[in-house]
Amino acid sequence: RMATEGRIMTDFYVTQAVCSASRAGLLTGCYNVRLGILGALGPSAKHGLHEDEITLAEICKQKGYATAIFGKWHLGHHEPFLPLQHGFDQYFGLPYSNDMWPYHPGVRHLPMEERLKRWPHLPLIEQNDVIISAMTPKDQEALTTQYTEKAVRFIEEHQDEPFFLYVPHSMVHVPLYVSDRFKDKSGVGLFGDVMMEVDWSVGTILQTLRDLKLDQKTLVVFTSDNGPWLSYGDHAGSAGPLREGKGTMFDGGCREPTIAWWPGTIPAGTRCEEPAMTIDLLPTVAHLIDARLPDHPIDGKNITPLLMGTPGAKSPHEAYFMYYGRELQAMRMGPWKLHFPHGYRTMGGRPGGTDGIPTDYEQTRIGLSLFNLRDDVGETKNVIDQHPEILQRMQQLAQTMRSELGDSLTQIQGKGIRAPGRL
């Protein structure tokens, strides 16, 4: 229904196909490598989003917006890095991924004392306070409902003023948990049940906007932080025709299902096939609410014409760059996707695990490869020899980006890197 009433962004990317890095790009308008937020921050991390970085919430605060996040934060779990220190008025959720706890499958064979050395108990945080110090499976079953109820209450309480609401659900990240209301309801197993509950959550939030007559005043964007974690098999989901999944910069990892919804403003039932990325949301929101952009460099650009379906609108970027860690692994220019030589993980066509227990990846490599995604969405046909002029331009752009953000594959130090916040 959201897609029918809104606009599908078919070629919408994240900055890196893993938790923390992806969220850093979404909230700051910057490639995460610029901020020093790489990969997924665990319970032992002593760093997080720097206090000088400007988030979407802080952009909205300029214009008097009420701001809230209900869900997974994952940009530093120590108090200096939590959402209230980054422009949010309210926070309720997990500070990092819901598998970062002593029931992780990687330590399930160990006695609890040993497990806790690797994965301490998972806390639930409200505002700056730990309200549950050791989450249980039963607690996780309640998360989707709790996030949704708090989101609805926030909208109701702030219906007469502008608001920014961020709901990064903990599900469908493994381990999968679902409330009793949705258990065994999908007919396709636990993953289907969890998807049903997240779908219910989205529908409930949209219906709240309709009931309060806010739907025509509210921009809603639905997206994901990365593709499926393929080693988890029947708990992972699917990337469809896209190659690979989470943890790679093939499109199965970093190209996300995305819908923009704003009845009466965004044309219903339409599709945008121009490339766009999460880094573009901050400057787009700033444009829409007439807020100032940060004083420091950001990487995103205003994509309002793409969201609004302006005839002939093109991406404001000549190219997007796809880092994994500090490696510039790939880039997208128009329909073209260029992979630089790098190693990556793959299931190699094998099925993943079952019932929440993953199988092992194998490591492999790709050489310099050019794909035309309009003709080859699965990145299977290397056409590098047929398009030397495309390759040359993309390599020029990549070299410029390396001088700015660095690239450990080519041992280049970037001059535009900023440090993360540290304890």
Mean pLDDT along residues 28-54: 98
Enter the tokens of residue 393. 């331009």
**Residue 182 lies inside a defined structural domain of this protein:** yes
Please tell me the distance from the alpha carbon of residue 353 to that of residue 373, in angstroms, as a whole number: 29
Please tell me the distance from the alpha carbon of residue 371 to that of residue 251, in angstroms, as a whole number: 11
Task: Let me know whether 180 and 38 are in one domain.
Answer: yes
Task: Let me know whether 271 and 332 are in one domain.
Answer: no
The label of the residue with tokens 């990145």 reads 379
Task: Let me know whether 162 and 201 are in one domain.
Answer: yes
Please tell me the distance from the alpha carbon of residue 230 to that of residue 358, in angstroms, as a whole number: 8
Task: Let me know whether 72 and 218 are in one domain.
Answer: yes
Peptide bond into 351 cis (omega under 30): no
Residue by residue, DSSP assigns 326-368 as TEEEEEEETTEEEEPSEEEEE-TT----BTTBPPPPEEEEE-S
State whether residue 270 is helix, strand or coil.
strand
Task: Let me know whether 84 and 226 are in one domain.
Answer: yes
At residue 227, the pLDDT reads 98
State whether residue 190 is helix, strand or coil.
helix
**Residue 315 lies inside a defined structural domain of this protein:** no
Residue type, 138: K
pLDDT in tens, 209-251: 999 999 999 999 999 999 999 999 999 999 999 999 999 999 9
pLDDT in tens, 113-164: 999 999 999 999 999 999 999 999 999 999 999 999 999 999 999 999 999 9
**60 is annotated as an active-site residue:** no
∠76-251-178 over CA atoms, to 5°?
A: 55
Please tell me the distance from the alpha carbon of residue 261 to that of residue 337, in angstroms, as a whole number: 28
pLDDT in tens, 269-282: 999 999 999 999 99
Please tell me the distance from the alpha carbon of residue 400 to that of residue 333, in angstroms, as a whole number: 14
Task: Let me know whether 369 and 267 are in one domain.
Answer: no
Q: Which of 47, 50, 74, 339 is catalytic?
A: 74
Please tell me the distance from the alpha carbon of residue 195 to that of residue 236, in angstroms, as a whole number: 11
**Residue 313 lies inside a defined structural domain of this protein:** no
Strand partners, 320: 332
**Residue 371 lies inside a defined structural domain of this protein:** yes
Residue 60 to residues 85, 131, 289, 318: CA-CA distances in angstroms? 14, 28, 8, 28
Q: Are 101 and 83 in contact (CB under 8 A)?
A: no
Please tell me the distance from the alpha carbon of residue 390 to that of residue 384, in angstroms, as a whole number: 9
At residue 300, the pLDDT reads 99
**Residue 252 lies inside a defined structural domain of this protein:** yes
Mean pLDDT along residues 318-324: 99
> Which burial class, exposed, middle or buried, applies to 309 when counting CB atoms under 10 A from its CB (0-12, 13-18, 19+)?
middle
pLDDT in tens, 181-194: 999 999 999 999 99
Task: Let me know whether 201 and 82 are in one domain.
Answer: yes
Quote the domain boundaries for residue 404. 321-422
Domain boundary residue among 261, 279, 306?
306
Task: Let me know whether 212 and 333 are in one domain.
Answer: no
Helix 281-289 and helix 19-28, axial crossing angle in degrees, nearest 10: 30
**Nearest to 224, CA basis, from 172, 283, 295:** 172
Q: CATH number of the domain that 357 lies in?
A: 3.30.1120
Domain boundary residue among 306, 337, 354?
306
Task: Let me know whether 414 and 265 are in one domain.
Answer: no
User: How would residue 256 be classed by pLDDT, with cut points 50, 70 and 90?
Assistant: very high
Residue type, 54: I
Q: CATH number of the domain that 145 lies in?
A: 3.40.720.10
Half-sphere exposure of 5 (CA within 13 A, CB side): 16
Q: Are 64 and 290 in contact (CB under 8 A)?
A: no
Residue type, 59: I
Dihedral through CA 65, CA 68, CA 73, CA 79, nearest 10?
Answer: 90
Q: Are 313 and 306 in contact (CB under 8 A)?
A: yes
Count of domains for the chain = 2
Task: Let me know whether 266 and 329 are in one domain.
Answer: no
Strand partners, 364: 344
**Residue 314 lies inside a defined structural domain of this protein:** no
Task: Let me know whether 301 and 325 are in one domain.
Answer: no
Please tell me the distance from the alpha carbon of residue 303 to that of residue 219, in angstroms, as a whole number: 13
**Residue 397 lies inside a defined structural domain of this protein:** yes
Domain boundary residue among 282, 306, 330?
306
**235 is annotated as an active-site residue:** no
**Residue 316 lies inside a defined structural domain of this protein:** no
| Helix%, strand%, coil% for the chain, nearest 5 | 30, 20, 50
Task: Let me know whether 266 and 337 are in one domain.
Answer: no
User: How would residue 92 be classed by pLDDT, with cut points 50, 70 and 90?
Assistant: very high
Average predicted confidence (pLDDT) for the chain: 98
